[in-house]
Amino acid sequence: DQGPYQYDLVVIGNGPGGLAAAKEAAAFEKKVLVLDWQNCTPTAGSGAGCANVGCVPRKLMYQAAQLGRVLKDSRRFGWECEERVSHSWSRMAEAVQNHIKSFNLCHYQDLLDSRVTYLSAFGELVGPHTIKVMDAYGNETYYSAAVFIISTRGKPRYLGVPGDREYCVTSDDLLSLPRCPGRTLVVGASVAGLECAGFLSGLGLEVTVMVRSVLLRGWDRKMAQKIENHMFVHGVNFLHNFVPVKIEQVQEGQPGRLRVTAQSTHGTDTYQGEFDTVLLAIGRDACIEDIAVDRAGVQYSHRTGKIPVNEYEQTNVGHIFAVGGVQEGRSELELTPVAIQAGRLLARRLYRGQSTKCDYTNVPLTVFTPIEYAACGLSEESANHTYGGDNIEVYHSCFWPLEWTLPARDKNSCYVKVICHIPDHERVVGLHVLGPNAGEIIQGFAVALRCGLTKEQLDTTAGVHPGCAEVLTTLTVTQRVTEAMIVRG
């Protein structure tokens, strides 16, 4: 099948990486079609749905919870406000949804301005260069393209136990829930689950997190433990090593109260609890079967539903690429900025003759838990595994943000650690920050890590005073010494 094709590029899905590639390709005068079936209902209207769910609304709700905290602190700074303050879920939800709508409209306008053809329609590959496109009314059209980029966002996963689809909400649903969720069980303890649990608790709700194995599996253990401690101290309950096996209404036919039965992952113990809302944050399915990638010859993992790609985001079929969370083995990098970077660079390689590849190392990551966590580079466990424990030095320190001293809160919660590779001039291979604005702090350090930052360079950099990040320039205590001191008692 040599063409000619109707389109130079068809992007399947509304993931941020695909949209970035589409815009970049159009800027190079390529004819581009984007298929976004997540907005594919007769009532959905138009507008790319990339921010409908996920990090943007979660951060706004995180901010709502933080403001509650600031209100409490403000009294210690002389503000006189009433002891009892209340929060309106519906007003917050409406404001967040309005923001998302205008945000999406801007994105849509951006696509139109860049002359990308955008269809709220479902795409299904029917051959290596042909896609069948079905709109919300069931009308089918076939298009051909020289190149395809798969950039599907995936659907929130369900548990597959009785009552889950009938009674549970997913972390996507929560962000547009019109009613206050009340007493909530959050199932899943990864980024989405912990962020939701954190802001719900910050808004004054009773929250329990059901953890199947550990919090933030795959992330730095000590940092995850500190996040759990902080959330626990601030009222979040954790139920470890349980998975739900049944969700039912407490009184049949009466919506509102739900009973959850869970089973221990370690033994025969069972748990029962009643909640107003059961929130599932157990990951996403990539929807690869839906778009029939195999009909175009694309291989994918039947276990994870994701597509293996090489360092050029290329699948086993030369003209079909995958960016974002749909890529096999890069789930910890399901991050909007990384996907955007990957998509943009891919388009530049395809249409501009450039050769720069997306760098998936030293990517800065942030989790908006009540105490913000940001990291760049390796976890301590990965550093030990990669370089050997004897070759790693970990500098660390607790710190107390000045802003928290007057309200006298959370004295030993904030923490940094810098992981260095000793034989390589103590080059920094991992940097972790737990504290206010950790995400903003890590951005600059991510650049430094990419430039080969060493411990000595950190030490000889002046700190911004009085700030939180300056603690990173004054680290002298190593974990090795701290542990030795603890052993000596």
The answer to whether residue 146 forms part of the interface with ligand NA7 (CB under 6 A) is no
Query: Peptide bond preceding 364: is omega within 30 degrees of 0, i.e. cis?
Result: no
Between residues 124 and 195, which has the closer beta carbon with respect to ligand NA7? Answer: 195
Q: Is 485 exposed, middle or buried (0-12, 13-18, 19+ CB in 10 A)?
A: exposed
Near ligand NA7 by CB under 6 A: residue from 263, 331, 382, 473: 331
Q: Which token pair is 194?
A: 């912990």
* Cα angle 371, 233, 486; round to 5: 90
Using the contact rule CB under 6 A, the part of the chain among 40-48, 109-117, 199-207, 327-335 near ligand NA7 is 327-335
Residue 325 to residue 284: CA distance in whole angstroms: 9
Amino acid identity, position 146: A
DSSP 473: G
Near ligand NA7 by CB under 6 A: residue from 33, 282, 446, 453: 282
Closest distance of CB 333 from ligand NA7, Å: 7
In sequence order, the 6+-apart residues with CB closer than 8 A to the CB of 69 are 202, 370
Contact 8, 147 (CB under 8 A): yes
The answer to whether residue 347 forms part of the interface with ligand NA7 (CB under 6 A) is no
Closest distance of CB 280 from ligand NA7, Å: 8
The answer to whether residue 192 forms part of the interface with ligand NA7 (CB under 6 A) is yes
Which of the residues 87, 234, 421, 465 is marked catalytic?
465
The 10 Å CB-count burial string (b at 16+, else e) for 400-437 is bbeebeeeebbeebbbbbbbbbeeeebbbbbbbbbbbe
The answer to whether residue 91 forms part of the interface with ligand NA7 (CB under 6 A) is no
Near ligand NA7 by CB under 6 A: residue from 159, 203, 293, 458: 159
Closest distance of CB 149 from ligand NA7, Å: 20
* Residues in 198-237 that interact with ligand NA7 by CB under 6 A: 212-213, 217
Near ligand NA7 by CB under 6 A: residue from 68, 128, 204, 283: 283
Closest distance of CB 452 from ligand NA7, Å: 25
Closest distance of CB 88 from ligand NA7, Å: 27
The answer to whether residue 334 forms part of the interface with ligand NA7 (CB under 6 A) is yes
The answer to whether residue 191 forms part of the interface with ligand NA7 (CB under 6 A) is yes
- The size of the interface with ligand NA7 (CB under 6 A), counted in residues, is 20
Closest distance of CB 434 from ligand NA7, Å: 17
The answer to whether residue 287 forms part of the interface with ligand NA7 (CB under 6 A) is no
- List residues bridging with 119 in a β-sheet: 35
Using the contact rule CB under 6 A, the part of the chain among 29-37, 227-235, 329-337, 400-408 near ligand NA7 is 329-337
Within the chain, how many helices (H) and strands (E) appear? Answer: 13, 22
Between residues 264 and 391, which has the closer beta carbon with respect to ligand NA7? Answer: 264
Residue 207 to residue 409: CA distance in whole angstroms: 21
Q: Which token pair is 388?
A: 């050997």
* 266 flagged as catalytic: no
Which contacts qualify for 441-445: CB closer than 8 Å, 24 or more apart? 441/374, 441/468, 441/469, 441/472, 442/364, 442/365, 442/366, 442/374, 442/375, 442/376, 443/364, 445/364, 445/376, 445/472
Near ligand NA7 by CB under 6 A: residue from 188, 198, 202, 364: 188
Between residues 123 and 364, which has the closer beta carbon with respect to ligand NA7? Answer: 364
Catalytic site positions: 465
Residues that bind ligand NA7 (CB under 6 A): 159, 187-193, 212-213, 217, 243, 281-284, 331-332, 334-335
